[in-house]
Every structure is written in structure tokens, then in C-alpha cells.
Amino acid sequence: MSMEHLPGELVSNVLSRLPSKVLLLCKCVCKSWFDLITDPHFVSNYYVVYNSLQSQEEHLLVIRRPFFSGLKTYISVLSWNTNDPKKHVSSDVLNPPYEYNSDHKYWTEILGPCNGIYFLEGNPNVLMNPSLGEFKALPKSHFTSPHGTYTFTDYAGFGFDPKTNDYKVVVLKDLWLKETDEREIGYWSAELYSLNSNSWRKLDPSLLPLPIEIWGSSRVFTYANNCCHWWGFVEDSGATQDIVLAFDMVKESFRKIRVPKVRDSSDEKFATLVPFEESASIGVLVYPVRGAEKSFDVWVMKDYWDEGSWVKQYSVGPVQVNHRIVGFYGTNRFLWKDSNERLVLYDSEKTRDLQVYGKFDSIRAARYTESLVSLHRGNEFSHKCFSCSLVPDPLLHDSEYLFSF
């Protein structure tokens, strides 16, 4: 029986279990396979099926600046076998296009995955699908702030609009007055980038539920129900009240989500917002600022649309953690950097040294997922998308690199 005459359901089932790079080769086998692999329904179904397969292999996408000098950022895919007694970790580094591979180009945060697409915040801001080797630098926003103001701090959100099949980036801009070098606390402007149009536009300031401040210490991409989220606070009768700010990628609207009192003091305890229940809802990890051993309280919003559904789900620890959380996935997998700035994974009461470093608080990590979703859109001249490749990490087991720390 020829490839063309195999049952369609069988072919789809088999191909959905192959890595994306193999599927790119399979497109060349015959026309029917090409049509299947490029079909939007197969692309969507593949992301769910392949990334849900039970496997002993684990993968993370990591960014880090490994050297004291320069801002050069390594983008790595870490891989390991959970049953490997030697706890070996392999690392492949994404080789950015030549014009973005220098000390002057750097990234500070990972937002994603969203259908296998990641947003890297930095210089420049980037969308990428590492499993397809696609890398797209976003155009700069040309909006100037009103009243002679300039931007001091940005907080970005990233997500997908299923109604328009569009990936969007929203940025909150903290505005300072040039004349007084001050700003009105709690007030922001917002801009929205659309991949489909490859452009930015300003959002109506009245959409923002102001005043609200954003905690800069909560660094885990938290995306649920087509909404991105930031951990913030408001002043209420002289007291500081923790709160969540959400942005809906479909409705393009903001809302405030009230949370219970999960900590006594922000000086004594960190609170990190995280996705929960396979991104069906959100949670908060609460843990001490000080001390080498920390216990974590995990709060979860059981019903995403009900502010009254917050519960303390469970506690973890004490665990040997010197610094703050830099990643979280699943329901109990914590990623943090230790006192030597090494990336550490905690999973089911076990810790694993992932053998990579990031200087100056630069290490960030997110779950790595395989995806066939392409960043290519419409006019390729205005939507230029570069190809990049993964190469073995030259630093992972380099003794000179290890001793340089």
C-alpha cells in the first residue's frame, strides 16, 4: 500500500506523535501528508496530543547571561531523562540570526509557551518558535507619551486571540514627567502589538482599572483563559492590598481580580503569580524573603471567574532555596536559582541541579513545548521572520566556564 492510500486517521495519529522537526521532513513525502501537516486543525491538535504524551524526557527553555562582562544572552533548550541515575542534562543553544547575535542584543524575560510560541522581552523584543527555528524581532513602538513624559518601566503580557488567530503582546508603560522627574503613582498607559498586522497601537487609557501598582518580583508567565496576568497591589484606606491585574486578549479589556490576604508583609514574604490546572486558572506561591530553607504556601483560584474561590491548596517544604522562583509548571514543579546562581528544579520532594548558570539575576526558565504554529503572516517583506538553529551548548560542561564563577 502506498503512502497516499494509508487510512487518514491512522496517518494523523502516527504523525501527531513525532517531533516537529521530523514532521517538517514528512511534508516532503507526498502531497496528502503535506496537506495534513499544514492543515490548521492538525496543527492545533498536534500541540495538544504531542505535548501530552507520557515521556521520561523533560525539556525547558532557558535564557541566561553566563558571563560577568557583556549582555550576551544564551537561549537554551535543556533536556534530561527523569530516570537517569547520573542526572545528566544536555543543552542546545539557539543560534539567533547574525544581526541579533551580539553583546548589544539581549533578553531579560520569557513569556510563554502559548501554543508553542514564546515572547522574549529585551533588545529587541522577539517572538519565536524554537521547535521550528523561527525567530521574529518585533518593530519598535513609535508612540510618544503625552505631556512630555518618558517610559521608565515596562511590564509585558503575551497571549493568543483564538477569534482572529492572532498572537498579541500588551505592554504597560510606567510614565515619568520630565519636568519634575516624578510620576503619579499607580497610573499607566498601555500599547498592544498584533502579529497579524505586525504593528502597535495605543489602548484607550480608560480601559485600565487605575490606580494600581505592579510588583516587579513576580516573574512567572501566568496565562489562563486567554488572559495574561500581573501581580500588583492597591492602597486601600492606608493599607496595601495585593491584587491581580488581568488582560483579556480577545476582548482587549482589563480587570482587577481581588485576592485574600495570603501574606502578612511584602517585606517578609514574596508572592509569585503562576498558572494552574493546565492554565485553566491561576495561583500564588507565597514564601519567605529570608533564610536558606523555605516553605511554600500554594494558593489557587478554583473557579477562575469567581474571586471568592481562592483556597490554600497545599504547602511545600522546607526546601533549600536561597533565592526567588524563576519558573513554575505543572502543579508542583518549581524552578529557582540557588546562591551560586545555578538553576534548580524541585519536583515531588526531589531537587535536581540543571547545571546552567546565569549571572546578575539573568536566568529565567519556562516549559519547552513542540509546536507547528508558524510566525509567518501575509506579506513576508513586512513580516520578516528569520530562521535559526539549535547547536550543542559549548558552556554546559566547560571547566573554564564553571571555574569562572
Residues 24-59 have pLDDT tens digits of: 999 888 888 899 999 999 999 999 999 988 788 899
Exposed e or buried b for every residue in 308-344, given b needs 16+ CB within 10 A?
eebeeeeebbebebbbbbbbbbeeeebbbbbeebbbb
pLDDT in tens, 99-141: 887 777 889 999 999 999 999 999 899 999 999 999 999 998 8
Domain ranges of the chain: 1-52, 53-137+144-365
pLDDT above 70 (res 5):
no
pLDDT digits (tens, 9 = 90+) for 323-359: 778 888 877 888 988 878 889 898 877 888 888 888 8
Q: What is the pLDDT of residue 4?
A: 60
Q: Which residue has the higher pLDDT, 205 or 151?
A: 205
Average model confidence (pLDDT) across the chain: 85
Using one digit for the tens of pLDDT, what is the confidence trace for 139-187? 988 765 544 444 446 899 999 999 999 999 999 987 666 666 677 778 8
Q: Give the CATH class of 53-137+144-365.
A: mainly beta
Residues of the chain with pLDDT > 70: what percent? 90
User: HEC string of 41-104?
Assistant: HHHHHHHHHHCCCCCCEEEEEEEECCCCCCCCCEEEEEEEECCCCCCCEEEEEEECCHHHCCCC
**What pTM, to 2 d.p., does this model score?**
0.90
Categorize the per-residue pLDDT at 383 as very low, low, confident or very high, splitting at 50, 70 and 90: low
User: Distance between CA 124 and CA 140 in Å, rounded?
Assistant: 8
Each residue's pLDDT tens digit, 283-317: 999 999 888 788 899 999 999 999 999 999 999 88
